[in-house]
């Protein structure tokens, strides 16, 4: 086998390794929760916290109403108990009962408003939770596929690296150095095919002398991009 062919085969292996490594990196990145899901989680948590605050407010009001009602009941009992005889005290008690009644009505109005807000926020929170769960399920399903792909890529890379290990000793060390150098300089493509008088790396039509030399089995480089050429 010609050195051009040896290096060309090595190039095919290296290109495949690079592609698989890139995809593997992507597959690993895609297994992180996407921004849409993170945003949905935040939104659902905020809606839940908001709902919690309104529920707590309603609970506080309910307790306050009970306290006011209890106080009014005790004042009323005292008012009609017959124990209090002093007209001023009776008058004060009367006013207190009335004031407590008004306070209770105000609190009950507020409690009703708050309850309506709780209902509304419950709907919002429910919708946010549904959206979050939907995205989370979708993501979990995609992760299953990605993990399978990750496994496949790891096995393929393993095989390619083995293949590379067997291919490298077939190349002359000096040429291997040139190859490595070109890999660095030419964005990963050191060896290009020579087909229909053209370099497949840069698509430039090669000179007659280069084509002739390649035809005679010499190791030639592209006139334009300097890549090693392998007649296909
Ligand atoms: Zn070229």
Query: How far away, in angstroms, is 25 Cα from ligand 1 center?
Result: 30
CA of 199 to the centre of ligand 1 (A): 5
| pTM of the shown model | 0.73
DSSP calls for 9-73 = HHHHHHHHHHHHHHHHHHHHHTTSPPHHHHHHHHHHHHHHHHHHHHHHHHHHHHHHHHHHHHHHH
- Residue 222 CA, ligand 1 centroid: distance in Å: 5
Per-position pLDDT tens, the chain of length 232: 899 999 999 999 999 999 999 999 999 999 999 999 999 999 999 999 999 999 999 999 999 999 999 999 999 999 999 999 999 999 999 999 999 999 999 999 999 999 999 999 999 999 999 999 999 999 999 999 999 999 999 999 999 999 999 999 999 999 999 999 999 999 999 999 999 999 999 999 999 999 999 989 899 999 999 999 999 9
The span from the CA of 221 to the CA of 229, in Å, is 5
Q: How far is the CA of 91 from the centre of ligand 1 (A)?
A: 108
* Residue range 158-203, pLDDT digits in tens: 999 999 999 999 999 999 999 999 999 999 999 999 999 999 999 9
Around ion ligand 1, which residues have CB less than 5 A away? Answer: 199, 201-202, 222, 224-225
Helix (H) or strand (E) holding 109: helix 87-167
Report the distance separating Cα 1 and Cα 3, nearest Å. 7
Structure tokens at 91: 């008058």
The two tokens of residue 9 are: 């085969």
CB burial string 148-160: b at 16+ within 10 A, e below: eebeebeeebeeb
Residues of the chain with CATH 1.10.287: 31-168
What is the rounded CA–CA span in Å between residue 218 and residue 232? 14
Query: CA 13 from chain center: how many Å?
Result: 32
Q: Does domain 31-168 have CATH number 1.20.120?
A: no
């Amino acid at each position: 086998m010609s050195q051009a062919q040896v290096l060309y085969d090595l190039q095919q292996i290296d290109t495949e390794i690079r592609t698989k490594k890139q995809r593997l990196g992507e597959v690993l990145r895609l297994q992180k929760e996407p921004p849409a899901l993170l945003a949905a989680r935040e939104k659902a948590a905020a809606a839940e916290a908001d709902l919690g605050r309104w529920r707590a407010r309603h609970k506080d009001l309910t307790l306050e109403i009970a306290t006011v009602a209890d106080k009014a009941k005790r004042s009323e009992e005292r008012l009609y108990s017959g124990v209090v005889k002093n007209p001023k005290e009776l008058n004060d008690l009367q006013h207190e009962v009335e004031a407590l009644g008004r306070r209770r009505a105000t609190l009950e109005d507020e409690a009703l408003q708050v309850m309506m807000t709780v209902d509304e926020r419950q709907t919002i929170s429910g919708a946010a939770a549904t959206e979050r769960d939907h995205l989370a399920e979708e993501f979990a399903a995609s992760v299953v596929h990605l993990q399978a792909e990750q496994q496949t890529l790891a096995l393929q890379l393993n095989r390619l690296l083995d293949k590379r290990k067997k291919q490298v000793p077939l190349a002359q060390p000096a040429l291997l150095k040139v190859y490595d150098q070109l890999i660095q300089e030419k964005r990963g493509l050191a060896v290009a095919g020579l087909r229909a008088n053209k370099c497949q790396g840069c698509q430039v039509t090669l000179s007659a002398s280069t084509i002739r030399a390649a035809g005679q089995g010499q190791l030639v480089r592209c006139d334009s991009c300097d890549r090693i050429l392998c007649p296909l």
